[in-house]
Amino acid sequence: MTNRLLTGLLMASSILGSAGIALAQDKTLTIESWRNDDLAIWQEKLIPAFEKANPGIKVTFSPSAPTEYNAALNAKLDAGSAGDLITCRPFDASLELFKKGQLADLTSLAGMENFSDVAKSAWQTDDGKATFCVPMASVIHGFIYNKDAFDKLGIAVPATEADFFAALDKIKADGTYIPMAMGTKDLWEAATMGYQNIGPNYWKGEEGRLALIKGDQKLTDADWVAPYATLAKWKPYLGDGFEAQTYPDSQNLFTLGRAAIYPAGSWEISTFNTQAQFKMGAFPPPVQKAGDTCYISDHNDIGIGLNAKSANADAAKTFLSWVASPEFATIYANALPGFFSLNSAAVKMEDPLAQEFVSWREKCKPTIRSTYQVLSRGTPNLENETWVKSANVINGTETPEAASAELQKGLDSWFKPAK
């Protein structure tokens, strides 16, 4: 009996002992993320590049499902079991974590100077004094089109709204292609690829967005209702049964070559490149009249921050400084065409479609999604309500005016603009 106990103790001590040695040798950092699509890129490109430059630090990328990420992360942070590095959602979701003391202040992190104020705005306190996540990437909205289809039907890339609807009519009359691949079943397609895509041209990008936050404009103003009126006109150009068409359905419809135009976010580029067998092009949301200034949604989407309770804060800061470097920006932007670096250093990209998207930054004025900053802090949540209302407007079950009035009423119930 004593013999067995002794053996057990010895074995246990040997295991524990070796575990201790392993800890002393390498620091392991864990990254929490919702980008489970990027697992391969992190494991094959980004992490090896970092580990080569920084021996002694091991990095593990551990993503969870996008829709569960926020809830899962909050639970893990509260329980103290979250990873060292936290992928940051833009604006309030992360700001909340910073206020709770769960994200560390990174204002003075080496490498932060590589980012412009606009790039950092998504991960700063309202007064802009503290920054708590390193900006990683933004996504740009626009339309991706089937070049073969356009060539076959002799359609030029539409620049104005009139051209756009003329092109849709032509595709519809021809009948070979579904004019536009979008569904309303998942709701967010209607809001993100619809309303937030074409909207900035109406509310003049940042100007309108900031006026809304200041309370100078309301969602019931003509500039905010007009995009809904345009969305309502999309209905006849969508596929049969679009009310039950999900987001993957829309993607497949386009990549199988059955639809001509896809209201897109630039994040689609890498999937489309591998799936579509035809040539693709992209155009920014058409302006109302020829010669109008164009506005695009260039939305800060991903940042990365430091868990305030991390045991390996120093190693984690080394990693974050690396993320802030142009080296990371180049690898990331090329591995994931469609996620554009926010780094001030110019990044050379190989992908033509991604180049097309990013070229709009020069001729159009960028803005971010109107509902993300400040306005989605309360209940009812403006972003989520916008999903529902945009889908209603496209389905034809609610008029643009009624939808906007509802949204403004919901916003008024909790939002008091700082005058």
Residues that bind another protein (CB under 8 A): 67, 70-71, 74, 91-93, 96, 100, 183-188, 239-246, 249, 252-253, 371-372, 376, 379-381, 383-384, 387-388, 391-392, 395, 397-398, 410, 413
Specify the pairing of strand 280-283 against strand 133-146: antiparallel
- Please identify, using beta-carbon distances, which residue of 230 and 245 lies nearer to another protein: 245
Q: Report CA Rg, the chain.
A: 24
- Please identify, using beta-carbon distances, which residue of 220 and 384 lies nearer to another protein: 384
**Cβ atoms of residues 278 and 146 within 8 Å:** yes
CB of 262 to another protein, least distance (A): 14
CB of 40 to another protein, least distance (A): 24
User: For residue 146, how far is the Cα from the chain centroid?
Assistant: 23
Provide the residue type at 352 as one letter.
P
- Please identify, using beta-carbon distances, which residue of 295 and 372 lies nearer to another protein: 372
- Please identify, using beta-carbon distances, which residue of 42 and 372 lies nearer to another protein: 372
Residue 80 Ramachandran class (φ > 0 left, ψ -120 to 50 alpha, else beta): left
Q: 341 Cβ partners below 8 Å, 6+ apart?
A: 136, 137, 329, 330, 332, 333, 347
Distance CA 245, CA 193 (A): 14
- Going by C-alpha positions, the residue among 272, 255, 263, 201 that lies closest to residue 234 is 263
CB of 239 to another protein, least distance (A): 7
**Cβ atoms of residues 250 and 275 within 8 Å:** no
Structure tokens at 153: 């039907």
Helix (H) or strand (E) holding 149: helix 147-153
- Please identify, using beta-carbon distances, which residue of 34 and 360 lies nearer to another protein: 34
CB of 404 to another protein, least distance (A): 15
Distance CA 160, CA 164 (A): 6
CB of 392 to another protein, least distance (A): 5
Q: 68 Cβ partners below 8 Å, 6+ apart?
A: none
Q: ∠ at Cα 262 (287, 351), nearest 5°?
A: 90
- Please identify, using beta-carbon distances, which residue of 217 and 371 lies nearer to another protein: 371
CB of 305 to another protein, least distance (A): 17
- Please identify, using beta-carbon distances, which residue of 171 and 253 lies nearer to another protein: 253
Helix (H) or strand (E) holding 229: helix 222-232
CB of 370 to another protein, least distance (A): 12
**Cβ atoms of residues 144 and 281 within 8 Å:** yes
- Please identify, using beta-carbon distances, which residue of 331 and 411 lies nearer to another protein: 411
Distance CA 54, CA 187 (A): 44
Helix (H) or strand (E) holding 295: strand 295-306
- Please identify, using beta-carbon distances, which residue of 40 and 71 lies nearer to another protein: 71
